[in-house]
Amino acid sequence: MLVIGAGVIGLELGSVYARLGSEVTVVEYMDAVCPGMDKDVQRGFKRMLEKQGVTFIMGAAVQGVEASKTKAKVTYQPKKGGDAEVIDADVVLVATGRKAYAEGLGLDALGVKLTERGQIATDAQWRANVPGLFAIGDVIEGPMLAHKAEDEGMAVADVIAGKHGHVNYGVIPGVVYTTPEVATVGATEDALKAEGRKVKVGKFNFMANARAKAVHQAEGGFVKIITDKETDRILGAAIIGPGAGDLIHELCVAMEFGASAEDVALTCHAHPTYSEAVREAALACGTGAIHS
């Protein structure tokens, strides 16, 4: 199986087939998996998938796919230059992104304004330029996530009812449903530094977490918390490891309330649980983790 694109969907489906016994090769145009994600997660995530048997060809631009009844030939060229190469595959999965699907809605007839990407343009309260028309989810700007659309749906219902609808787009978690899971929320360390923000990072490896070691899911995983260096307020977080998609919500709640890493560090966490790794990472933002 050849997967074109090392984004969330490509890695989720590619890793499933790899664990089912398929030989999986992923071709990605960028130099890292999951472009835009925290660099520490990108590196660790790629290593873990490679250990599961996934092969990566990075920095490669796919030129085309020639399909026959039983096979497919994929031609790609290195982004930095060089001769084109061909890979034979039984099946090819194209996972290079998604776009808004609004066909058949009659938007042209209504005169609905669209963005350059073909999504419905809305204001801060999700109103389109046509009176009485609201839009949410994948057909407007922002991450194409079901839970983002759900929040927008509830907010729009409030607006229609004459209330103030609110969605905190800075605290929407993203989860990659592989094994192990990867979860992120907020800003990345690099993005904050690019803005000139002074940050402090706390990191804790699951190798020092009793629960993860007990179930043989400790290798390579970690929790990373990024805070404002002056105020200790949590600005972002990333988790790669067992139950990451559930663990990230503790940090989402903390960010929603404007909590500091110290607030999380001073909160008692049950032992033995995966969530202890979150507390340890919060401690690492201060004087240091106690089990590293």
Do 22 and 84 share a structural domain? yes
Nearest CA-CA partner of 41 in 241, 245, 252: 241
pLDDT of residue 180: 93
pLDDT in tens, 102-123: 888 899 999 999 998 889 999 9
For residue 104, give the DSSP letter.
T
- We report the CATH number of the domain holding residue 233 as 3.30.390.30
DSSP-derived 3-state class of residue 146: helix
| pTM (2 d.p.) | 0.92
CB 95 within 8 A of CB 7: yes
Would the CA dihedral through 119, 121, 122, 123 be positive or negative? positive
Which of 62, 94, 126 finishes a domain?
Answer: 94
Q: How many domains does the chain have?
A: 3
| Start-end of H helices in the chain | 8-19, 39-51, 107-110, 146-160, 189-194, 210-214, 244-256, 261-265, 276-284
Does residue 50 belong to any structural domain of this protein?
A: yes
Does residue 102 belong to any structural domain of this protein?
A: no
DSSP-derived 3-state class of residue 86: strand
Would the CA dihedral through 102, 143, 57, 222 be positive or negative? negative
Q: Residue 16 CB: number of other CB atoms within 10 A?
A: 14
Do 239 and 219 share a structural domain? yes
DSSP-derived 3-state class of residue 202: strand
Which of 132, 150, 169 finishes a domain?
Answer: 169
Q: Residue 94 CB: number of other CB atoms within 10 A?
A: 13
Q: Measured between alpha carbons, how far is 249 from 183 in angstroms, rounded to an integer?
A: 9
Do 280 and 184 share a structural domain? yes
Nearest CA-CA partner of 25 in 36, 44, 37, 11: 11
pLDDT of residue 197: 95
What six digits make up the tokens of 249?
Answer: 């919500």
Could you list the residue range(s) of the whole structural domain that residue 65 is in? 2-94
Do 85 and 123 share a structural domain? no
Which of 37, 62, 94 finishes a domain?
Answer: 94
Catalytic residue annotation: 271
Cα maximum dimension of the chain = 63
Q: Measured between alpha carbons, how far is 83 from 176 in angstroms, rounded to an integer?
A: 34
Do 211 and 247 share a structural domain? yes
Do 184 and 245 share a structural domain? yes
Q: Measured between alpha carbons, how far is 164 from 162 in angstroms, rounded to an integer?
A: 7
pLDDT in tens, 213-234: 999 999 999 999 999 999 999 9
Q: Residue 155 CB: number of other CB atoms within 10 A?
A: 19
CB 102 within 8 A of CB 139: yes
pLDDT of residue 191: 96
Place of tokens 């963005």: 115
For residue 121, give the DSSP letter.
P
Do 72 and 47 share a structural domain? yes
How long, in residues, is the chain? 292
Does residue 75 belong to any structural domain of this protein?
A: yes
Amino acid at 79: K
- We report the CATH number of the domain holding residue 80 as 3.50.50.60
**Sequence-separated (6 or more) residues with CB below 8 Å from residue 108:** none
| One pLDDT digit (tens) per residue for the chain, 292 residues | 999 999 999 999 999 999 999 999 999 999 999 999 999 999 999 999 999 999 999 999 999 999 998 899 999 999 988 899 999 999 999 999 888 888 888 999 999 999 988 899 999 999 999 999 999 999 999 999 999 999 999 999 999 999 999 999 999 999 999 999 999 999 999 999 999 999 999 999 999 999 999 999 999 999 999 999 999 999 999 999 999 999 999 999 999 999 999 999 999 999 999 999 999 999 999 988 888 6
